[in-house]
Structure 1
Amino acid sequence: MDDGLTPKGRATRARILAATAELVRRKGVTQTQLDDVRRAAGVSGSQLTHYFHDKRTLIDDVIAWQADAVANHEPALDSFAAWHRWADQIVARHTGRKFQGGCDFGSLAGQLVESSPRTRSHLADGYGRWLDRFRRDLAAMRDQALLRADADPDALAHTMLAAMQGGVLLAQTLRRPEPLRDSLDAALARLESYAR
């Protein structure tokens, strides 16, 4: 990645993005102020404005950063066992958070999807990248004959992501794991209905 930044500059920028993402998860976009970000990231005001011109630029870059995290760090989901591990990890992660804050990316989407066409486009791109990862792994399962030929990777990818996002929101609202576990189990059952 040639962004013109030194390794130290990249590290500082990543620290700002991580601090902003955590603040937004805990407090929401509107309650997160640039001074909060500066303090949380341990940077000066001039450093913050060097990397991000304004709050809108910062939030748009947090969206892209969260999308990168999803696209690049999701483990391979090319077996039934891998999908079950994925579901178990999601339940464990949100249980560990006591169901507060919701999905890092989904929370951004919920707060910002109607804020501007440009921001909605960034969010759609992030979800698109997540769905692409799922779609590729599901297509690999079909190619390996783990799934029947009539299994549709697009439909299954939508099912898995929607079950996770909706389940996380319900678990966050109700502060209990059952909605998340039940929605993921239903999605896994649909996936397994296509097993050869």
Structure 2
Amino acid sequence: MTASTRTRPASERRLTAKGEATRARILDAASALVFAHGVTRTGVEDVQREAGVSASQLYHYFGDKQTLMRAVIAHQTAAILAVQQPELDALDTFEALGRWRDNLVTLQRSRHCAGGCPIGSIAAEIADDDPDARADLVDGFEQWEAPIRSGLATMRDRGLLRDGTDTDRLALALLAALQGGLVLTQTRRTTVPLETALDATIELIRSYATEPTPRPSC
């Protein structure tokens, strides 16, 4: 066996179907534990126990906890985007923004407002101490922001928003409002902060409309 083969992580090698299943089981277990307890309070032994694998299996697929947590970030980012489909890729009308907002609120109610944002909570713990993980988090938030940006730009191009509207800035504001709303919703155990933050930002977006738009009925 060559040195390059020995040092090459399992995640970069082609895995058997059984290997893929084992890796996925470890990643699912780690993601659930991190969402429930955070990065610091999730130990490698906890993941082993939850996934039903040995230490050698876990380290074979992920190498160390840092590598595992970076995989968790990618996994949680994909899960966030999947949950918000298809609305997230069609935020090109005010009605679509409203449906997306309602789905986000409903999701937090179904979780009893626990857990916050799956990647935002990770960022709060490790972004200052792990540059590689922070870069992954930046990429994760960019994947989330991109369809919002695209949808608002489409609204401007269709004439729903005034020419010259800075849709990039509005998209960032909407994602920031979502993140802040999730933190307060998690802390207060009520969706009111999330609803308020999203409604205020969508109202800001409405202020750039080319003509008055009907407000959703209560």
Normalised by the length of structure 2, the TM-score is 0.81
Q: Verify: 1:144 aligned to 2:180, yes or no.
A: no
| Letter paired with 2:200 | A
Q: CA deviation at 1:10?
A: 3.1
| Mean Cα deviation higher: 69-78 or 30-39 | 69-78
Q: Deviations over 1:113-172 (max 9, x none)?
A: 111222222211211222222112221222222222222221111111011100010111
1:169-180 correspondence runs (5 A)? 169-180=183-194
Give the Cα separation in 2 of the matches to 1:156 and 1:135: 8
SS at 1:104 equivalent: coil
Kindly tell me: are residues 147 and 121 of structure 1, through their superposed partners in 2, closer, same or farther at Cα, counting changes over 3 Å?
same
The residue correspondences of 1:53-72 to structure 2 (distance < 5 A) are 53-71=63-81
Following TM superposition, by how much is the alpha carbon of 1:12 offset from its aligned partner in structure 2, in angstroms? 3.0
What residue is the counterpart of 1:162 in the other structure? 176
- The counterpart of 2:97, out of the listed 83, 88, 91, is 83
Q: How does 1:96-175 map to 2 (within 5 A)?
A: 96-175=110-189
User: 1:142 & 1:170 partners in 2: Cα distance?
Assistant: 31
| Counterpart amino acid of residue 124 in structure 1 | V
2-structure distance, mates of 1:71, 1:90: 12
Larger Cα-atom Rg: 2
Equivalent residue for 2:31, pick from 21, 37, 57: 21
Q: How many residue pairs end up in the alignment?
A: 195
**Structure 2 residues without counterparts, runs of 5 or longer:** 1-11, 211-218
Instruction: Give SS of 2:119's match.
Output: helix
Residues 71 and 133, structure 1, Cα contact 8 Å, conserved in 2: no
Does the alignment pair 1:39 with 2:49?
Answer: yes
Give the AA of the match of 2:208: Y
Work out the CA distance in 1 between the residues paired with 2:20 and 2:154. 34
Once the 2 structures are TM-superposed, how far is the Cα of residue 72 of structure 1 from its aligned partner? 5.7
- Structure 1 range deviating more: 158-167 or 114-123: 114-123
Q: Supply the RMSD in Å over aligned alpha carbons.
A: 1.9
CA-CA distance at 1:179 after TM superposition: 0.9
Q: TM-score, normalised by structure 1?
A: 0.89
Give the Cα separation in 2 of the matches to 1:103 and 1:97: 11
Query: Structure 1 runs of 4+ off > 4 angstroms?
Result: none
